[in-house]
Amino acid sequence: MTSTPGAPGADPLFVFERWHAEAAVDADAMVLATATRDGRPSARYVLLRGITHEGVRFYTNYESRKGRELADNPAAAAVWFDAANRRQVRLEGSVLRLDPALSDAYFASRDRGHQLGAVASAQSSVLLDRAELEAAYAAADLRFEGREVARPAHWGGYLLAASSVELWLQRSDRLHDRFSYTRGADGWDVVRLAP
**Domain spans, the chain:** 12-108+157-193
3-state secondary structure of 58: strand
* Segments in the chain below pLDDT 50: none
Q: Give pLDDT tens digits for 55-93.
A: 999 999 999 999 999 999 999 999 999 999 999 999 999
Q: Which residues pair with 166 in a beta bridge?
A: 90, 180
Q: CA 26 from chain center: how many Å? A: 13
* Bridge partners, 91 (sequence order): 78, 165
C-alpha–C-alpha distance, residues 135 and 127, integer Å: 12
Q: How crowded is residue 82: how many other Cβ atoms within 10 Å of its Cβ?
A: 19
Amino acid in the structure at residue 23: A
What pLDDT is recorded for position 125? Answer: 83
Q: What angle do CA 55, 60, 63 make, to 5 degrees?
A: 120
d(CA 70, CA 98): 13
End-to-end Cα separation, the chain, in angstroms: 23
CATH number of 12-108+157-193: 2.30.110.10
**Nearest of 193, 151, 194, 188 to residue 2 by alpha carbon:** 188
Task: Evaluate whether 168 touches 189 at the Cβ level (below 8 Å).
Answer: no
Query: For position 63, what pLDDT does the model report?
Result: 95
Rounded CA separation 126/51 (Å): 33
pLDDT tens string 157-171: 999 999 999 999 998
